[in-house]
Amino acid sequence: MEREYMNIEQKILNPPSGILMLLILICLSIFSILGFVAGIAGGVFPLIMICILLWIVLPFMFAGLRSVRPNEALVLTLFGKYYGTINKPGYFFVNPFAKYNNPAYEAQVAQNAVDTSEALLEGKGKRSRTSANRVRKTVSLKRSTLDNGTQKVNDALGNPVIIGAVVLWHVEDPTKAVFNVENYTEFLSIQTDSTIRNTARLYPYDVFDDGMDDDEGGKAEQTLRGSSQEIADKMKVELAEKVAFAGLVVEEVRITHLSYAEEIAAAMLQRQQASAIIAARTKIVDGAVSMVKMAIDKLNEDDIVVLDEERKAQMVSNLLVVLCGNKDAQPIVNSGSIY
C-alpha cells in the first residue's frame, strides 16, 4: 500500500520581543531572591512559596528565548506537532517547550559524538572537535554551493567519462526542508548525483565526424564537451523538479570537470588527433582543388596559353603536389620547350 505523506503548510509565527521578556524575567529573578529573604525574615509563608515557585518556573521561561539571524529560519515543534516557523531576524520569546528542528545540526552533533567516542577509544583523552559547533540550530536560507566532486558515468556511446558539477541552491520553504525529507542537504547531494548520471548517459562526450549537421540543416548533435551549458541547464530543470518537494530551489548547475576515464583517455586522444588531421586534410584538398580549377579557368579565359588534356592533367598534378604537400616545393625551371 502506497504511503501518503502529510502536506504540512508553513505557519509563520510572530512571537513577542525577547528583549522585553528578558527584562521581565530578570526582574522576577531579583524579586524571587529578595522576596524569599523578606519572607524568611518576616515569617510570611505564602511569599516564600511564591518565590520557590518562581525558582522552579524561571529556568523554563529563560529557555523560551530564541535568536534568529538574517537569512535564517527557526522551525519549531511542540510535543511532536508542528508549532510554527520564525523567518525574520531578531530576539524572540516562544513557548519554552517548543523544540527546534534542523537535520543538518542534528547530523553534525551525531557525527561529533561518534568522533569523540573514537578519540576516547584511541586513548587521546580529549574530545574531537568537528564542524558541529559551527552549525546553528536555525535553518539557513542563504545561497549555498554544493560540490559533489566527480563521478564516473557512461556516455551515450558507452565510453566511461569522469564528470563533476556544482549546484547553487537555497532553502525556500524551511518547513518542507525539515519535515518532508530526513536530511535536506544529504537529499540534495544524492539527487544531484542521480541527475548528473541520468543526464550524462544521454549524450556522447564528443563527435568525431565532420558531418555535424543533419540533412535538413538542423543543429549539430549536442555533446558533453561542446554543449556543456545547454546540458547543465537541463540538469538544473531536472534537479529542481526532484528537490521542489523538499522546499529547495536550484538556481544554477555548472559542469566543473569533464574528461575521459583513465583506461580510455590515451585511445580517445589518438582518435581525436586522427579526426583533427583528417578534417584538416579535407579542407586542404578542397581548397587546393578550388585553386587549381580557378587557375585553369583563368588561363583559358585570358588565352594566355592553350593546353591539351594531357598538359592539363600534368599541371593539375603539379599544383596539387605543391598545394597539398607538407613541405615547401623545390621547383625545377625548364628552359627548353614544354613539348
Please list the helix, strand and coil fractions of the chain in percent, rounded to the nearest 5, in that order.
50, 20, 35
Identify whether 225 is part of a domain: yes
Instruction: Choose the final residue of a domain: 52, 83, 102.
Output: 102
Give how many domains the chain has, as a whole number: 4
The model's pTM:
0.67
Query: According to the model, what pLDDT value does residue 127 have?
Result: 47
Same domain (yes/no): 255, 159: yes
Same domain (yes/no): 184, 90: no
Same domain (yes/no): 130, 150: no
Q: Best-predicted range by mean pLDDT among 134-138, 180-184, 272-276, 315-319? A: 180-184
Same domain (yes/no): 80, 110: no
Q: Are strands 99-100 and 72-78 parallel, antiparallel or unpaired?
A: antiparallel
CA–CA separation, 221 and 273 (whole Å): 20
Any long-range contacts for 329-332 (C-beta under 8 Å, 24+ apart)?
none
Identify whether 4 is part of a domain: no
Identify whether 313 is part of a domain: yes
pLDDT > 90 in the chain, percent: 11
Same domain (yes/no): 49, 148: no
Same domain (yes/no): 109, 97: no
Same domain (yes/no): 177, 238: yes
Same domain (yes/no): 208, 287: no
Identify whether 13 is part of a domain: no
User: Which CATH number do you get for residue 200?
Assistant: 3.30.479.30
- Residue whose C-alpha is closest to residue 242's, from 206, 197, 173, 191: 191
Q: Is the pLDDT of residue 213 over 70?
A: no
Burial of 53 (0-12, 13-18, 19+ CB in 10 A): exposed
Identify whether 71 is part of a domain: yes
- 163 lies in which domain range? 143-213+220-260
Same domain (yes/no): 189, 282: no
Give the least confident one: 53-62, 180-189, 314-323: 314-323
Identify whether 8 is part of a domain: no
User: Across all residues in the chain, what is the average pLDDT?
Assistant: 78
Q: What is the 3-state secondary structure (H, E, C) of 142-159?
A: CCEEEEEEEEEEECCCCC
Same domain (yes/no): 68, 113: no
Same domain (yes/no): 28, 67: yes
* Strand ranges, E, within the chain: 65-68, 72-78, 81-86, 90-93, 99-100, 139-140, 144-154, 160-171, 248-260
Identify whether 49 is part of a domain: yes
Per-residue pLDDT tens digits for 73-111 = 888 988 888 888 988 898 999 888 888 887 777 766 666
Identify whether 332 is part of a domain: no
Per-residue pLDDT tens digits for 25-50 = 899 889 888 888 888 888 788 888 88
Q: Is the pLDDT of residue 256 over 90?
A: no
- Residue whose C-alpha is closest to residue 67's, from 164, 12, 138: 138
Query: According to the model, what pLDDT value does residue 271 have?
Result: 66
Same domain (yes/no): 59, 46: yes
Query: According to the model, what pLDDT value does residue 251 have?
Result: 92
